[in-house]
Amino acid sequence: MYFIGNWKMFGSVKSINYINSVIKLAKLSKFKKAKIVYCPPYTILSEFVKKTKNTKIKVGAQNCHHEKNFGPYTGFINAKMIKLIGAKYIIIGHSENRRAGDTDKLINLKVKSSLSENLQVIFCFGETLKERKKNKTFQVIKKQIYMGLKNLKNLKNIIFAYEPVWSIGSGKVLNNNDLESQIIIIKNYLKKKFKIKNPKIVYGGSVNPNNIKSLVEIRTLKGFLIGGASQKSKKFIDIIKKSIN
Ligand code: PGA
């Protein structure tokens, strides 16, 4: 089961010591099924890689530039650089980045360049509240997935992260029945359209120690993408402990 911590635009070199307790937990055989991935900001990626060396914890970036080769793109970082620093994962298509200008086309290029660097892609998609109210949820999700994966050959290194935009940071989560049926629809679409045998789907959006017990009951989920609650190790650990007995 995946526990992917998305630190967003938070954290400094000092905050790396916060994860000491998580490193300790990851060593316990009881939690060997927990696949813990930290996605800190670029500025501390390499410190995270050093800190988690010889542990089971992996590190990922939160986005990249779409150009796969080095080039004149001031202020940007591409998948190759992320790979070179020792990260193994990358979040692509997060709604906060879609909102900031990441189009489906750019996202497709980013997924492509990340896969060519052998990074595991955490591909995010999800509807806004307005879209949900208009009953357009599946239509929106389908388009994001279809455009994001267009012309890609090997999809086995992709983790699909369903993150309803209205659920991120809001404390609001779909009830289990609705979320589960949503996940099944997504799974079937991925199987049918992209011939992915067993797509790995994780859920993100206000996952916290209070709602995790009920979320883990959704057996079709392979884990969680956790924002706010991953920045506090106590909460992150609580989530992991409550998910794995
Ligand atoms: P949240 O963020 O857990 O704070 O809602 C999730 C995400 O944006 O990945």
Q: What angle do CA 96, 85, 5 make, to 5 degrees?
A: 40
Supply the DSSP symbol for 68: S
- Give me the residue label for tokens 């011939």: 195
Choosing from 92, 172, 207 the residue with most ligand 1 atoms within 8 A of its CB, the one to mutate for a pocket test is 207
Is residue 6 predicted with pLDDT exceeding 80? yes
Using DSSP's 3-state secondary structure scheme, residue 160 falls into strand
pLDDT score of 213: 97
User: Regarding beta strands 89-92 and 120-125, do their DSSP bridges make them parallel or antiparallel, or are they unpaired?
Assistant: parallel
User: For all residues of the chain together, what is the average pLDDT?
Assistant: 97
Q: Mean pLDDT throughout 199-206? A: 98
Bridge partners (DSSP) of residue 158 are 121
Query: What is the distance between the alpha carbons of residues 200 and 156, in angstroms, rounded to a whole number?
Result: 9
pLDDT score of 245: 77
Q: Mean pLDDT throughout 221-231? A: 98
Rounded to the nearest angstrom, the distance between the alpha carbon of 210 and the centre of ligand 1 is 15
Helix (DSSP H) and strand (DSSP E) numbers for the chain: 10, 8
Is residue 12 predicted with pLDDT exceeding 80? yes
66 classed as catalytic: no
pLDDT level of residue 24 (50, 70, 90 thresholds): very high
pLDDT score of 232: 94
Annotated catalytic residue, options 117, 127, 131, 163: 163
Q: Which atom of ligand 1 is nearest to the CA of 95?
A: 8
Q: Mean pLDDT throughout 22-31? A: 96
Q: Mean pLDDT throughout 111-120? A: 98
Choosing from 4, 6, 170 the residue with most ligand 1 atoms within 8 A of its CB, the one to mutate for a pocket test is 6
163 classed as catalytic: yes
Is residue 180 predicted with pLDDT exceeding 90? yes
The 10 Å Cβ neighbour count of residue 50 is 11
Query: What is the distance between the alpha carbons of residues 41 and 12, in angstroms, rounded to a whole number?
Result: 9
Query: What is the distance between the alpha carbons of residues 105 and 174, in angstroms, rounded to a whole number?
Result: 29
Is residue 151 predicted with pLDDT exceeding 90? yes
Is residue 59 predicted with pLDDT exceeding 80? yes
User: Regarding beta strands 120-125 and 35-39, do their DSSP bridges make them parallel or antiparallel, or are they unpaired?
Assistant: unpaired
Rounded to the nearest angstrom, the distance between the alpha carbon of 169 and the centre of ligand 1 is 5
pLDDT score of 153: 87
Q: Mean pLDDT throughout 56-63? A: 98
Rounded to the nearest angstrom, the distance between the alpha carbon of 20 and the centre of ligand 1 is 22
Q: Mean pLDDT throughout 22-39? A: 97
Percent of the chain at pLDDT > 90 equals: 99
Q: Which atom of ligand 1 is nearest to the CA of 230?
A: 3
Rounded to the nearest angstrom, the distance between the alpha carbon of 48 and the centre of ligand 1 is 20
Q: Mean pLDDT throughout 34-58? A: 98
Supply the DSSP symbol for 240: H
String of b and e for 135-150 (b: at least 16 CB within 10 Å)?
eebeebbeebbeebbe
Query: What is the distance between the alpha carbons of residues 222 and 200, in angstroms, rounded to a whole number?
Result: 6
Q: Mean pLDDT throughout 143-164? A: 96
Q: What angle do CA 215, 217, 219 make, to 5 degrees?
A: 110
User: Regarding beta strands 158-162 and 120-125, do their DSSP bridges make them parallel or antiparallel, or are they unpaired?
Assistant: parallel
Taking CA atoms only, the protein residue closest to ligand 1 atom 1 is: 227
